[in-house]
Structure 1
Amino acid sequence: MADLQDELTATAEMGELAELSSPTEETPEPSADDALTRARAFLTTHPVADGYCGLPATLRTLPWYDLELGDSSVDTDLPRLRDGGVGALLWTLRLLPGTAHAEHPVTAALEQLDFAQHVVAQYPQGLRPALSASEACDARAYGRIAVLMGPAPAAAIGESLATLRALHTLGLRVLTLSGTCWATEAGLTRFGEEVVREMNRLGVLADLTGASVPTARRVLAVTKAPVILTHSGAHALNSHPDNVPDDLLADLGAAGGVCLVPCSAERTGPQLGDVADHLDHVRRVAGPGSVGLCGAYDTGAVHPDGLADVSRYPYLIAELVERGWPESDPAQLTWGNVQRVLRETEFAARAAAPRRPPSTARIERLDT
């Protein structure tokens, strides 16, 4: 309990809020250069936690790469991560359509986890593995970029809670609840509900990107931990099927979840300002505590003009400064909100552990 209390009261571990106050009547509106300078300084204290990066799958297709020197074959390397003020990455374990990955999702997830951990180990001066919010903060304190594993697609657990537990032991921290027979357009099945409860017990975040509205609502009703959307914008601004309607955004905010808005031309729009519009909208509807960032870099996505790679985050923060975001909101956007949901998911797991043994539920017993 003392450890829990220590973590609950650790409000200053990321430092004081950097100065990002909006212009007043007495202060001239900052120029674009001034806003960019302030954004860069801000990100040294409140770095970006990027919620969806496809680097491992991209690296596996390359004959050679060097992330320390920089590599033009990818959107993400260490020089650009440092220039972009990135402090943490969620590495997605993607299933590539039309490959053996899609036919053997459990094997594919295991191979990608193994490869991702190998990549992190190759660059100990730049990257550091993290399994928790505290470890992500520790990585930053040592001048490293924290790497958390996930999201993985729901198919990666192979309709087996034992496989979910094994993946968690190997480092998986986020699972996307869509595209399976137990998380469908009609909602969660009884087995799907048991998956959510087991994720709560383990401390695996539920990602609702791509989930149907009935599935998302049922997850919100069942879960004891916050949920996230790792790469979803506002449906009111762009009708992409992975984007979220306002009523669900409001419910997400009320439940303490976070929507990570992607730097994706398809999901948000072709310009940097379009991404900022989605951030404004999610912040207004769900609240400043429920909006975050995702680059969708190295996923094959087309990126908006001005956001070609991870080095461009300061330009997006500068845009928000010019729009008058109050100084506390960008701190939540870049780092604070992701850190909070990680911590609350860990607390939920600790609370569940004494009360709930590992589930032995099987899909054929619950859903037939």
Structure 2
Amino acid sequence: MADLQDDIPAATEVGETETLPAGSFPEPYAPAPDQDAEPLERAHALLAAHPVADGYSGLPWALKHLPWYDLELGETAVDTDVPRMRAGHVAALFWSLHLPEGLAGDRAVGATLEQLDLVRTVTEGHPEGLRLVRTSGQVIDARNRGRVAVVLGPATAAALDDSLGILRVLHALGLRVLTLAGTSWASEAGLTRFGEEVVREMNRLGVIADLSGASEATISRATALSKTPVLCTRSAARALRPHPANLPDDLLTGLGAAGGLCMVPLTAEQTGPNVRDVADHLDHVRRVAGPECVGLSGTYDSGAAHPQDLADASRYPYLVAELLRRGWSETELALLTWENAQRVLRSGDFVARAAQQRREPSPAKIAELDG
């Protein structure tokens, strides 16, 4: 797969001198939080050492409708730009390729490719702030060079048009996360035989399964089947707020036991109207599933309303300050903001390297397995 790396802009060679933006730190030089400082000061210091890996951004679709934008200088028409990500200590961002409801077949494939092309154009046009990445190692390299790592995905499963060949093409173009929902092979009834083959091929390629919005049967089966941890990129605790994308405690427990990651969205609809409500969900997921199972999902530029004090990508320190007031340790916060997401990406890379030595690309067709 080495030839596919040519699609990604080359990183600066190790040893070249490069100036980092003010307020950002390579990992070895990040200052430790001062336990006597005010919570917001401590939050900034902690995030300098353990920045945010944000699990969901709707920026590609938002930018699609703007005639002109400059994310490096700042862009008031969206919730996310480079200055606000610097202020919020965001070092990695999962860029959603989700589609409006109703798109399917060739239209879904085409719209996904157009969004993917837009992401490439945007990242290439903002080289001082953004870097398109494929692997967990490239995420670290981008962070240490003062860039925000852009991870492609999640994309909607409709973009595959029931074809594993299209899955392989999307992966070759950089896709890292795919949402398993809204198809005949990942439905309320769970995964069909073809759906299970999709998950196996995703493991072989290193594409991570996103189960937010999937049925409970699909979540349970995909979590058990996948050889790499799964994500729920936009799911909070259903025990606190009965939103259909939020997870009940039994699924949270199973997700935690399988090493998966529940990325709690910063949306008023799913978590509540203020920062304390979001912290309540984070507390609940940590308690039920464990600190290794909880992450953050800004869901900025997705059309969702956000809680008070969490209006855009610059506001993560306010959430971390609230968690510090609640007694979260530095270790738990480091897992929440950065380490858990990195662990899932590293696992996907490792499993894919091993699987590609043992397994050829799947020739499965939906008509053969589910017909």
The normalised TM-score by structure 2 is: 0.90
What SS does structure 1 have at the residue aligned with 2:231? strand
8 Å contact kept, 2:224–2:258: no
> Percent of pairs identical after alignment?
60
2:68 to 43, 64, 68: 64
Which residue does the alignment assign to 1:111?
114
How far apart, CA to CA, are the structure 2 residues paired with 1:79 and 1:345? 30
- Give me the whole-angstrom Cα distance separating, in 2, the residues matched to 1:277 and 1:311: 21
Question: C-alpha offsets along residues 112-154 of structure 1, whole Å, 9 cap, x if unaligned?
Answer: 0011110000000000111011000000110000001000011
Deviates more, 1:284-293 or 1:61-70: 61-70
Matched residue, 1:10: none
**Which one is further off, 107-116 or 89-98?**
89-98
Q: Which residue of 1 aligns with 2:157?
A: 154
* Count of residues paired in the alignment: 346
1:363 corresponds to:
366
Q: Note if 1:90 corresponds to 2:94.
A: yes
Q: Is the 8 A contact 1:20 1:321 kept in 2?
A: no
Between the aligned partners of 2:180 and 2:167, the Cα distance in structure 1 is 13
Report if aligned partners of 2:53, 2:93 keep a CA contact under 8 Å in 1. yes
Amino acid across the alignment from 2:50: H
Does the 8 Å CA contact 1:196/1:222 hold for their aligned counterparts? yes
Aligned counterparts of 2:281 and 2:31: Cα–Cα separation in 1: 23
Q: Do the aligned residues in 2 keep the contact of 1:20 with 1:326 (CA within 8 Å)? A: no
2:330 is equivalent to residue 323 of structure 1: no
Deviation track 1:56-76 (CA, whole Å, cap 9, x = no partner) reads 110110111111121111000
Matching residue of 1:52: 56
The 8 Å contact of residues 98 and 155 in structure 2, kept in 1 or not, is answered as: yes
8 A Cα contact 2:32 2:49, kept in partner: no
- Corresponding residue of 2:16: none
Partner of 1:281: 284
For residues 233-284 of structure 1, give each alpha carbon's deviation from its aligned partner in whole angstroms, at most 9, with x where no partner exists.
Answer: 0010010000001111011111001000000000100111111111111111
Contact kept, 8 Å, 2:30 with 2:48, in 1: the verdict is no
Matched residue, 2:210: 207
Residues 1-368 of structure 1: pairs in structure 2 closer than 5 A: 14-15=27-28, 19-20=32-33, 34-97=38-101, 104-368=107-371
Contact map agreement 1:101 1:107 (CA 8 A) in 2: no
Tell me by how many angstroms 1:103 deviates: 6.9
| Unmatched segments (≥5 aa) in structure 1 | 1-12
SS at match of 1:267: helix
TM-score, normalisation: structure 1: 0.91
The DSSP-based 3-state class of the residue aligned with 1:104 is: helix
1:38 partner SS: helix
- Partner secondary structure for residue 202 of structure 2: helix
Instruction: State the secondary structure of the residue aligned to 1:92.
Output: strand
Letter in 1 for 2:137: S
Q: Distance in 1 between matches of 2:224 and 2:70?
A: 45
Structure 1 CA distance, aligned partners of 2:90 and 2:40?
15
Contact 2:106/2:161, CA 8 A, preserved across alignment: no
1:17 and 1:71 map into 2 onto residues whose CA distance is 28
Change (3 A) 1:215 1:97: closer
TM-align CA RMSD: 1.6
Unaligned runs of 5+ in 2: 1-25
Give secondary structure in 2 for the equivalent of 1:310.
Answer: coil
Partner of 1:4: none
Deviation at 1:97, TM superposition (A): 3.2
